Each structure stands twice: as structure tokens, then as C-alpha cells.
Structure 1
Amino acid sequence: MSGHRCARPAFRLQRGVVVWVFAGMVSLVSQEARAADWSDFLTDPGGWNALKQQWQKTGVDVSIEDVEELWSIPTGGARPSEHYVGLTQVDVTLDLARLAGENGREGEWGKFEISAMDLRGKPFSNYPLYAFNQTSSSEADPNLRLYELAYGWSSADAKFATRVGKLDLSQDFMVSTTALTFLNASFGWPMLPSNNLYGQGPASPVATPAVWLRYQFPEGWQGQIALADDNATGARSFLNATDPWNQNQDPSGTRFNFGTGAFLIGEVAHNVNHGGRTGTYKAGFYIDTGRFPLQADSDVSRRGNWEVYMIMDHTLLKDRGAGELRGFVRWEYTGLADRNQISSSLDAGMVLVGPFHRSNDNVGLGFGYAAPSHDLMLQKPDGSFRHHGNEYHLELTYAAQVLPWMTLQPDVQGLINPSGGAYDSGRRVKSALIFGLHLGLSF
């Protein structure tokens, strides 16, 4: 991107470090498991849970998450296709007081956290779908990478908490807890920051150097704020045709960049209870001091970016036999249409918790749209230009808790007007029907 100021030198660790960390964490599990029968160890939650409890007493907490997904696009997009994506995440948390032999409260001296990801498969939302939003939150460039590396501390009354290190801020900000049932990535980290920030912003699988603070106020109020680098991978260019997400600019996740711009994000939340129907209302913003290319002329860049957003999560109906119906709405907006691909977006939906007397299952129906910038122009095959239209997506999903450590989730999505009207090889990219099957394992 011409006009983008050069980043200052970033501190790099060797890729071998993240391989060593990941292999060490897996080795820790395997050494303990050799003495037991593997089938019993993996299929009997009591065996693994007992082992975890032993480690926790000494101050070491280990968790493993694995995701396997199959996706089919029978019609629509640039062409019909089938895809596989998967990831394995290992997290290790060290309680410093317990490691030192202290018998005080948990986390009294704070906790050190480190995690790594093994990402598999090939992203397919850019091609053949040509979507603004990702079909799955598990889609990423295939890499073995360091994820989070942080120190965290909270006060004894839990009113104040802080974390510092390499952080994924999407775990704390812009989160609708109801929307997390869905597989489409836009129901997690929303479309505005995903499309408008460097490398999709500070969200999984990318983490960025940051400081995060949270305070619990009386009467159900909470405030949080974070200051971070705005370009986690340290990519020199905002636009990269061969690496759209810029994740391969730092494939090991061990780059600590401080040379592009600052990213400030803040949020206020209020918990309510109306006759037993609980809800959470949130409002927030972010400001980015980096430089961004103009939609009308990518050779020209402007400094600064911002967004505001609002979220509502609320219980709509509560019935002991039929389950609990929860709804959510999230809206985002930026007034800087000249340098942003998406000007506004909205997602909403309902989730029934405990259907068919299965207390741990969820069934959800969600909807969302993205409104592109008026300055984002689309070139038609005849050489003429027109404005992009809105992109819409629908999702119907059922998450079944098959075992305490296993979730099976069939999923159906509809993508309407991809990228507001994209063309591939002179042909209009069609709206797509997408089928998915998600397997989640948690140990």
C-alpha cells in the first residue's frame, strides 16, 4: 500500500520456540498417560479430570480444545465445493502462589498463561464464497502458532482484574454470549473490525501486545478498557492480495510488533434482571491511530479509524419444560466510510437453551447483514462501475452435548449477495447454500 509509513523493527522469536512450547505441553499429557490404557484415559472423563485436579493442586492447569469441521457448498459461490478446517488449542495456566507452595487464595500472586494453536485445512470464505464474513470462526491460515502469552491478576473481591501480554481482545470485547452458539464467525468477532482493521484485528488466532483492565461497579455495572498494538502480525501493507488476512506474515505468532499504530478499545456493560429474566446491555468503541488506504484510491492513505457498537443479550421466555429462549442484537457503525470496507453491520438471533428436555443442548436461528462503504466500487465485466449492495447471511444450528467432553453441531447457512455483488471470471458470484458439521472436543 503506497503511502503507508514503514513499521519500526519488531521483536521476533524463532518459530522453533512455539514448536517447543506446544510439544512440551503435549508431552506433559503423554508422559502421565503412558501408565494407563489410552482408550480408558481418553474416553473416561474421570481419568483425565483426576489428573487435571492433581496438577491444579500444584498450580498447573492444562486444557485442550479440538475442533473438526466439514463444510459443503452444493450450490452458489464461484463453484460448488467441499472443505475441511480444524484446530487444536492447548492452554497452560500457572498459579504463581501455588507453584511457590503458598496456601493462600487461588491466583493471589497472579497467573501466567500460555497457549498455542495448530490450525489445519484451507480457508474458503474468500474463495470460492467471496464473502465479507467468514463461514466458520475456526477458519484460518494453516499454521502452528503461539496464541496468547500473558500475566493476569485479580483482586480478592474480584472487582478489579488486569492482564498484560500477547492478548486476544475478542474474548472480552464486542461479545454477545448468546451469539456464541453459532458457527458463523460474524456472530463472534463482528464484521466491521474483521474487515476494517489490520489482519482482522486482535482476534483469534492472532493475539497482539496489549494491556487490559476491568472494574466491577455496584448495581451490575462493569467497565473495561484495553490499549494494544493495532497490527499483530506486523504486516507492512494493509492490502495483500496473496495473503488477505496477513496471518502468514507472522506464521508462528511470535512477532511482537509496536510500529504501526495504537488500538484503544473500551466498553461499558450493565446486567439487569426483570422478574427472573436476565440480560446484559453493552456499549463500546474503538480508536485506531494507524494509517488506512482509501476505498476510492488505495494508493492514498489516511490516519485514524474508529467504530461504535451496542449489544443486547436478554432472556425472552423461560419455561421449565420447554427450555429458555434467549435473544440478542448487535449493531456497529463507523462514520469513516472513505477508508473502511464496511460502514455498518447488524446481527441478531434467538437461541433455545435446553430443547427437548436436553439441558445442555442449544438450537439457534441467526441473521446478519453488512452494509459496504459507499466509496467501495464494483467493476462489472463490461468495465462499468457500480456500488456494492448489502451482504446477508442466515444460520440455523443445533449444538448437541453428546458427552460431557464432546459436542456435535450440524449447521445450515445461507449467504445472500456475497460481498454485495462480486464477479469471478466474468460471472456474478451466486448466493450460496452451505452445510456444515462441527465436532468439538474439550479436555
Structure 2
Amino acid sequence: MSRAFRFSGPRLLAGPLLTLTCITLQPALANDADLMTRSTLSGDWGGLRHQLDSQGIKFTGDYSGETAYNADGGLQRSARYSQNIKLGVQFDLGKLYGLDNGGKVQMTINDRRGNSASEDLVGNRLPIQENFGGLYTRLTELSYERTLFSPELNVKLGYMAMGNDLGGLDSGILCNFMNAGFCGHPLNMSGGSGWTNYPNAHLGVRLKYDLSSTWQVRVAAFNVDPQSNGNSSRAWHLGPKHTTGTVLPLELVYKLQGELPGEYKLGYYYDSSDAKRIGSDKEVSGRDGHYLLIDQAVWHSQASPGRSMHAFGQYSAASTAASPFSKWYGVGLVLYTPFEGRARDTIAIGYGRAVPNPRSRDAQQDAAAANGESVPNLHSAEQLIELSYGYQATPWLTLRPDVQYIIEPGAFSAEKIDNALVLGLQVKASF
């Protein structure tokens, strides 16, 4: 048995979760009469799922598989596959125990497997498969959430990824793409600070306060523990192994309402950890960054309800003293309901630019010169163009053919690598 499966805590949970998965899939395999119309693959479990939900226990589960084939350029022509399985259960304490504003407890377990097209085939920095990384079973959330003092204030605390609630667009528009440069959060936030995105979780607390129906402020504090990120031996340990500081994000959210709705986020974060200064043996005390995220509807059809065009934009800047990834720019368009009869399909196109820190470039040149070598004359950034079509085959199954063109894949490694053309397919299913 591989080391990824050698755990003690999961033994208490893996068996019940595997049993639950088998039980939930049985109705889907036994009766496929409504398989194409049900909201989840496993259906309502003969009424049990609806009954448990009404009593305050809600089970969720989903699968994503991403296959990427490097058709031209990069390091080599071949294909790689990665997958992610997520199982969760939420306990509504108000329903379970008749409590007024009892809050909710969320537990989520995550398992990832596969190989990286970026590492093996292309050699670029932005992960071609957004679900690659941390290839083991882990606890990804154990949190408690409720309103506090007034309906306008919501608090969430526990063990969780801060990127679940901050740093991304709530609309989910960015996950119409397969590359992690778009789907999720600007990657220089986690690359240059203690910011953690799913599935890396840490102890923390998050507050949301509704200033009005359109304005909201979010603030949080999370433990910074780099030694636990991507470490399978820490997969079931809620407590930190080696705390280096605290990361404090602050986010202002504006939700534009009307015929052309929009979402705007302006954020700032500060990490109190000491970190090695790039190109120096000295340390820098504290790292910070800021970001701006936009999702704005620019057109909607009067004749076809649901058909609309949204534009998105991303800008993020990280600390130049300690982050190898200084800036990220992203723009794109997503067309919803592109064809009659395909109400839940999407067409998405995006362009992204990831800028390496000039100090990293200088350090690479100095190291090469010390070895009597030279650094290739590269442009200033890795660039990404991505086109995808989201085909909603059933309410629970999405197929997303995807094309990515990666310009200057070796911008971060200071290597001369030919531009790469990658063909991909993303499959998502809800259990």
C-alpha cells in the first residue's frame, strides 16, 4: 500500500464514507428511469436523502476528471489525467436540535490522484489541470458558521481554506475554465504569502458584514503553516506544525443589481510571517498584496431568457520582496445559453498573463553566470489563451472540451520552451 493511504484518522471515516458512496450509487444503478433528469447521479436514495435534509443533515459529493493532451510544443507530446473526489456532510443545528440560529457544521473530505500535464508535458507555471496537486486523501474543512448579533453579520470559524470565502468571484464564472490560472483565485496570492486555496486548509475565522443590499465587507485571520501545505502526513491534523505568522485579508464586495448584474471585489491581505528575500540571504518581515476582481454582464437577450454575455477581469499584485510571482492579469468573456435548447451550456474564452518577479530573473541570471552559463532571452511573462465549451449533458454531469495555448512556458524557470497547444476534456459529476 502506498504511503498516501497510510493514515490513522481517516480509518475512522474512510469506511463509512466508502459505504455511503456505495449506498448512494445503488439507486442510480438500480433504476435509471430518471437518470437523465435527476439533479444528482445517486438521486434521492429512495426518499432518504430528502428526509435527512429536512431533518438537518445534507450530504454532498462530486467528481472532477481532467485529461490534457499536449498536441504541439512544450516538452513532449503525450496526455495526462488528474482527478478530484469530494465528499461532504453539513449539519444544520437549528433543524437537528430545534435551536434558534443554531448555525451549521460543515465537514468535507477530499481525495486527489493523477499526473500533471504542466510538470510532465509543458514545463509551465500555471497548472493546466486545476484539480492537480496534493495527491492524497485529506480533511479539507471542519467549520462552524452562523449569524452573530444581527442578520447582517455572519461568522465562520474552524479548519478551512481561506480561498473558499475570499479572493474569488462568488458567481463561479472563472470555473468555466480548466486552467488554475483562471479557475479559482489569482495564483500569486498563494505563491507569495500564507494565503491558502482549496484544498489546503488551516485554522482561521472569517467575518462577513452586509453594509447594505449591495455592499458587503469581509475580513479574516488564518494561521500560516507552510509545512502543512501539500504534506500527506498532515492530512488529518487540524493543529499547525510550525506557525510562521497570521495572514489577514480584507475584502470589499459590491453586487450590482438590475438587468445587467455585476460583482466587484477589491481586496488586500497582509501576512505577518518572515520570509527569505529574493536574491538575498536576508529576510523580509511581512508580505502583502492586493487584488481587483470583476464579473459584469454586458449583454442579455430579450428574446431568449437566460442568454447573456458576461465579461470578467482579474488583477493581482504580490510582494516584490519575497514572491516569485509578482503580478497576474486576466480578462475574458463567457456566453451563457449559447444555443436554443441548451439553457445550461456555456462558451468561455480568456486571456491571462503571469508576470515573474524581476528579482527572481536577476537571481537566475546571477546563478547562471556563476556557472558560466547564460539565461535565454525571454519575454516578461507566461501567457495563457483558453477556449472552452461547457456541455451540460444532464443536471448532474458537465462535459467541457477545452483548448489552451500557452505562450512562453519557461518564463518562470528561465528555460527556452516552445509555445504549447494543449487539448483537454474536463468531466464534472455531482453525486
> TM tier, shorter chain?
0.7 to 0.9
| Contact preservation (8 Å) 2:398, 2:427 | yes
One of 107, 114, 120 as aligned partner of 2:107: 114
Once structures 1 and 2 are overlaid, which stretch shifts more, 39-48 or 322-331?
Answer: 39-48
Cα distance in structure 1, aligned partners of 2:168 and 2:59: 25
Contact 1:145–1:254 (CA under 8 A) maintained in structure 2 = no
The corresponding residue for 1:5 is none
CA distance in 1, matches of 2:234, 2:35: 33
Among 248, 251, 264, the alignment partner of 1:281 is 264
The two structures have a TM-score, normalised by structure 2, of 0.87
Tell me the equivalent position of 2:316: 332
Q: Percent identity?
A: 23
| Counterpart code for 1:65 | D
Where does residue 423 of structure 2 map in the other structure? 435
Structure 1's 26 and 59: CA in aligned 2 closer, same or farther, altered over 3 A? farther
Contact 1:123–1:141 (CA under 8 A) maintained in structure 2: no
SS in 2 for 1:418: coil
1:95 and 2:106 matched: no
Tell me: CA distance 1:19–1:366, structure 2 relative to 1, closer, same or farther (3 Å).
farther
2:163 pairs with 1:179: no
Q: Does residue 1:21 correspond to 2:18, yes or no?
A: no
Q: Note the alpha carbon deviations across 1:266-316, whole angstroms, 9 max, x for none.
A: 100111235x1111221111100112222213x432221000111121100
Partner of 1:81: 78
TM-score (norm. length: structure 1) = 0.85
CA RMSD in angstroms, aligned pairs only: 2.5
Mapped pair 1:416 → 2:416: no
CA deviations on 1:221-252 (whole Å, 9 max, x unpaired) are 00111100122x535xxxxxxxxxx5135452
Residues 68, 22 of structure 1: CA spacing in aligned structure 2 closer, same or farther, 3 A cutoff?
Answer: same
8 Å CA contact 1:390, 1:419 repeated in 2: no
* Contact 2:308–2:335, Cα closer than 8 Å, also in 1: yes
Q: Distance in 1 between matches of 2:202 and 2:43?
A: 32
1:416 positional shift: 0.6
Query: Letter of the aligned partner of 1:82 in structure 2?
Result: A
Distance 1:155 1:353, change over 3 A: farther
Q: Which residue does 2:282 correspond to in 1?
A: 300
Say if 1:132 and 1:195, in contact at 8 Å, map to a contact too: no
Relative to structure 1, is the Cα distance of residues 133 and 197 closer, same or farther in structure 2, using a 3 angstrom cutoff?
farther
Query: 2:374 maps to which residue?
Result: 384
Mapped to 2, the partners of 1:302 and 1:19 lie a distance apart of 42
Q: Which residue of 2 aligns with 1:241?
A: none
In structure 2, C-alpha distance between the alignment counterparts of 1:211 and 1:73, rounded to whole Å: 41
Q: Look up the equivalent residue of 1:213 and give its one-letter code.
A: L
Aligned pair in 2 of structure 1 residues 361, 387: CA closer, same or farther (>3 Å)? closer
Structure 1 segment 24-35 matched on structure 2, within 5 A: 24-31=16-23
In the aligned structure 2, how far is the partner of 1:118 from the partner of 1:359? Answer: 31
Count of matched residue positions in the alignment of Structure 1 and Structure 2:
406
For the pair 1:51 / 2:43, whether they are aligned, the reply is no
* CA–CA separation in structure 2 for the residues paired with 1:326 and 1:144: 36
- Asked if residue 169 in structure 1 is aligned to residue 176 in structure 2, the reply is no
Q: Matched residues in 2 for 1:97 and 1:410: separation?
A: 42
Q: Please state how far the C-alpha of 1:369 moved relative to its aligned partner.
A: 0.3
The residue type equivalent to 1:370 in the other structure is A
**Counterpart residue number, 2:254:** 270
| Paired residues of 1:367 and 1:395 also in contact (CA < 8 A) | yes
Structure 2 partner of 1:397: 388
Aligned partners of 2:93 and 2:76: how far apart in 1? 53
Within 1, Cα distance between the matches of 2:275 and 2:211?
36
Letter in 1 for 2:292: M
User: Which residue of structure 1 aligns with residue 3 of structure 2?
Assistant: none
* Contact map agreement 2:310 2:334 (CA 8 A) in 1: yes
Aligned residue identity for 2:317: Y
